[in-house]
């Protein structure tokens, strides 16, 4: 069984810094193990330019083994003799992780030959990588052309959550979208514009919308191919489109650089890079117990706002917000990071880890 997971987790000093996505993959993999399948897991990690050992999936395989309470074997390539030899040694119920598929540029190019090489390792394909399924890559869509393809448990849960949120929404509904590129999400954004009552844009994506409105964005990450599309979405939604009111900026995107905060409408010309855009105020709808649909890509954390209850799982999640604070004993804007983590939060682009996660203010997440 060839399984595509999204195990693109943050690493620090060669160790997994946040295992949320790994834990989310466990139900599918355990189910397959219990059925006696020989499970072959493939994933990407980061954006390597060729082979980059700092982005090897070896640490992820070790962490997955701990989550599954079993040994996860590792193949030092995802295709070719090493992968084939590792697959040939599998026994029913065992798990093998292949090396980072993006070590081969053919994956992102959706090369048919590369997709066939991956498909040759299994007999059935299971796509459990909801967060990567918008990408036309060989390991996501190419393999499905050569093997019977099915959805995993996580994929099913994500789609059910979206179905409930978008097809039968309880109004008012708010969507929060983050990430970098606008061009890959035009269809999604246009669809949401017709469905939601408010669309909150955060992360690097907000820079493109701010530039479309004529604001200075310095040397920040901009999706220049989507300026016109962002402008059209802005014209369509009007006041229902909510953008950051201020930005955290630095001259260089390097650790230890001094940070400055500017109003989104008044960024100095000399500023180099915006380190993401943060909504620093609580949107009025967050205080009224409305339903929110979150789609968080950036490695950031929402903190100190209103309390919420998660419905669904993965990276697209429906929340029900309540008016009470996560912890009324902690003053707003204060509290140690460890305490905030223990009370919940959206960390490293994944869902809130605990019931009652706080939200509505953006803070940099290490890694």
pLDDT at 246: 77
Q: Which CATH class name applies to 161-364?
A: alpha beta
Helices (H), the chain: 20-34, 58-68, 80-88, 112-119, 153-162, 186-193, 205-212, 227-237, 337-343
Q: Between β-strands 291-295 and 2-4, what pairing exists: parallel, antiparallel or unpaired?
A: unpaired
Which H, E and C letters describe 328-359, residue by residue? CCCCCCCCCHHHHHHHCCECCCCCECCCCCCC
Ranges of the chain with pLDDT below 50: 270-283, 285, 287-367
Give the pLDDT score at 314: 38
CB 68 within 8 A of CB 30: yes
What is the pLDDT, as a whole number, of residue 296?
35
Residues 6 or more apart whose Cβ sits within 8 Å of residue 46: 8, 52, 55, 100, 102
* 12: three-class secondary structure by DSSP: strand
Superfamily of domain 2-154 in the CATH hierarchy: Phosphoglycerate kinase, N-terminal domain (3.40.50.1260)
Find the largest Cα–Cα distance for the chain. 62
Token pair for residue 157?
């849960």
Query: Do the domains spanning 2-154 and 161-364 agree at the CATH topology level?
Result: yes
Do residues 175 and 293 make contact, with C-beta atoms less than 8 angstroms apart?
yes
Q: Hey, where are the domains in the chain?
A: 2-154, 161-364
- The C-alpha atoms of residue 311 and residue 318 are separated, in whole angstroms, by 5
How many CB atoms sit inside 10 A of residue 159's CB? 16
b/e map 201-228, b = 16+ CB within 10 Å: bbbbbbbbbbbbeebebbebbbbeebbe
SS3 assignment, position 43: coil
pLDDT at 298: 34
What pLDDT, on the 0 to 100 scale, is given for residue 275? 44
The string of DSSP letters for 195-223 reads T-SEEEE-TTHHHHHHHHTT---TT----
């Amino acid at each position: 069984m060839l399984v595509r997971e999204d195990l693109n987790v943050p690493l620090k000093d060669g160790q997994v810094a946040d295992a949320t996505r790994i834990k989310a993959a466990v139900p599918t993999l355990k189910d397959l193990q219990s059925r006696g399948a020989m499970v072959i897991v493939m994933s990407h990690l980061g954006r390597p330019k060729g082979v980059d050992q700092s982005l090897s999936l070896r640490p992820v395989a070790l962490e997955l083994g701990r989550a599954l309470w079993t040994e996860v074997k590792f193949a030092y390539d995802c295709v070719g003799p090493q992968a084939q030899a590792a697959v040939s040694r599998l026994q029913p119920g065992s798990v093998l992780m292949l090396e980072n598929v993006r070590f081969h540029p053919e994956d992102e190019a959706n090369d048919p030959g590369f997709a066939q090489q991956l498909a040759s390792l299994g007999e059935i394909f299971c796509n459990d990588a909801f967060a990567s399924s918008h990408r036309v890559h060989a390991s996501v869509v190419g393999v499905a052309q050569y093997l019977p393809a099915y959805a995993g448990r996580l994929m099913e849960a994500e789609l059910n959550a979206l179905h409930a949120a978008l097809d039968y929404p309880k109004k008012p509904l708010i969507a929060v979208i983050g990430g970098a590129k606008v061009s890959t999400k035009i269809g999604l954004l246009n669809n949401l514009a017709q469905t939601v009552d408010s669309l909150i844009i955060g992360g690097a994506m907000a820079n493109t919308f701010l530039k479309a409105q004529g604001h200075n964005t310095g040397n920040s990450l901009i999706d220049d191919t989507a300026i016109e599309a962002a402008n059209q979405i802005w014209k369509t939604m009007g006041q229902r489109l909510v953008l950051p009111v201020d930005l955290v900026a630095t001259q260089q995107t390097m650790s230890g650089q001094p940070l400055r905060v500017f109003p989104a409408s008044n960024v100095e010309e000399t500023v180099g890079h915006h380190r993401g855009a943060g909504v620093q105020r609580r949107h009025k709808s967050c205080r009224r117990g409305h339903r929110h649909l979150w789609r968080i890509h950036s490695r950031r954390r929402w903190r100190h706002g209103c309390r919420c209850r998660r419905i669904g799982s993965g990276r697209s999640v429906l929340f029900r917000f309540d008016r009470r604070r996560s912890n009324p004993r902690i003053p707003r804007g204060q509290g140690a990071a460890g305490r905030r983590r223990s009370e919940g939060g959206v960390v490293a682009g994944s869902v809130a880890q605990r019931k009652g996660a706080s939200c509505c203010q953006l803070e940099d997440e290490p890694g």
